[in-house]
Amino acid sequence: MQADDKTRLVYLTSLVAGRSFVPIGSGRQIIQSPTYIVKANIGTPAQSLLMALDTSTDMALVPCAGCIGCSSVTYDTTKSVSFSSLACGADQCKQVQSSSCTGTACSLNITYGGSTIAANLAQDNLTLATDSIVGYPFSCIEKVAGGSFPPQGVLGLGRGPLSFVSQSKSLYTSTFSYCLPSFKSSNFSGTLRLGLNGQPKNIKYTPLLVNPRRTSLYYVNLIGIRVGSKIVDIPPSALAFNPNTGGGTIIDSGTVFTRLVDGAYTAVRDEFRRRMGKAVVSSLGGFDTCYTVPIGKQVPTMTFMFPGLNMSMPQDNFLIHSSSGTTTCLAMSASPALNVIANMQQQNHRVLFDIPNSRLGISREICS
């Protein structure tokens, strides 16, 4: 009952004039997908999809009726009077690097995680909260191969010209924030806040960086990681922002577990193990620092350090427990070239993307 009340309160808050608040839920609990989802209404009359939020993707990816390899929930273009296909000559088609022209349609071949997608570029009205964006361009998916695609599509919140952030610029001035609830949360208790109204006033900021190699991604300058009271000795090259290679650190809502470049990960992992004392270390799946004994008191805190702010995390943001409950692992792993601060580590924080002022805000907020 309380959970229902909380969800209702988020909804009622979204109706307050001038504030565009959209409830966020854990896809893991609601649609069995390890993403965070919002309800998006597409077309006229509206058809609802629970779309995954992805700050590292630009274009919305929508499973359309008749799609091969998609889930049973799709958007039926024939039932919307405001739907239209976008042809080869359309400006939007020219903005998509993966487009090709076969006949009149603007065809797209996209890779998303481990999935390959065939789609056509289209447009229709899209509504989040109460504001409608007319003629919103998206990929109308015809075929998906590979298993990692979110079942009801993806809402791209990246920095590119076809993203939701860019397409809704006149409404929300390229400003948004979210609080992601615990992945165990079964209701829509998180919020996506769109526009300047309703954003937190007392929040610390760090600069947002633009990497010319990967212009859609939200880069930040990770300058250190503290495990317990110790700032870990990490090779500077592992954290360095590199405009030539695309190296550095991004904040991402679509990746589940934080990835750190080898040198950084090894240093953090080794310090974490040292703090855990003589407890025997094992591995499980992709995690190499796991414990089968009860752990609690000796678990150190962990803090990501940026110019202007520190992001201190409770245990729930960096420890994951096996389904049987007998094993606990450090929920991070090594990455070949890019540091990714992922959604598990962001749980129960307000993360504010202020693109006009090139800054990112982070503050603790319980929204589970």
DSSP 99-121: EEEETTEEEEEEEETTEEEEEEE
Q: Which of 307, 303, 316 is nearest to 272 (CA)?
A: 303
pLDDT at 107 over 60: yes
Which two structure tokens, joined as six digits, stand for 322? 């096996």
CB-hemisphere CA count at 13 Å for 254?
A: 22
| Domain 2-194 superfamily per CATH | Acid Proteases (2.40.70.10)
The residue type found at 117 is I
The reported pLDDT for the residue numbered 1 is 52
Q: Strand 332-335's sheet: what is its strand order?
A: 209-211, 214-220, 248-251, 338-341, 258-261, 332-335
Of 45-49, 109-113, 226-230, give the lowest mean pLDDT range. Answer: 109-113
pLDDT in tens, 63-79: 999 999 999 999 999 99
Phi, psi of 245 (to 5 degrees): -105, -15
d(CA 320, CA 25): 19
pLDDT in tens, 317-358: 999 988 877 899 999 999 999 999 999 999 999 999 999 999
Q: Domain segments of the chain: what residues? A: 2-194, 204-364
Residue 168's Cα: distance from chain center in Å? 18
The reported pLDDT for the residue numbered 94 is 86
- CATH code of the domain occupying 204-364: 2.40.70.10
CB-hemisphere CA count at 13 Å for 229?
A: 0
pLDDT in tens, 223-269: 999 999 999 999 999 999 999 999 999 999 999 999 999 999 999 99
The residue type found at 350 is R
Residue scoring higher pLDDT (64 or 294): 64
204-364 and 2-194 share a CATH fold: yes
The reported pLDDT for the residue numbered 39 is 97
Q: Which of 329, 221, 245, 317 is nearest to 281 (CA)?
A: 329
Percent of the chain at pLDDT above 70? Answer: 94
- List residues bridging with 119 in a β-sheet: 108, 141
Q: Which of 194, 202, 201, 200 is nearest to 18 (CA)?
A: 194
Which of the residues are catalytic? 54, 252
pLDDT at 2 over 70: no
pTM for this entry: 0.93
pLDDT at 17 over 50: no
In this structure, are residues 44 and 80 in contact, taking their beta carbons and an 8 Å threshold?
yes
d(CA 134, CA 307): 39
What is the CB neighbour count within 10 angstroms for residue 137? Answer: 24
The reported pLDDT for the residue numbered 296 is 72
- List residues bridging with 367 in a β-sheet: none
The reported pLDDT for the residue numbered 322 is 86
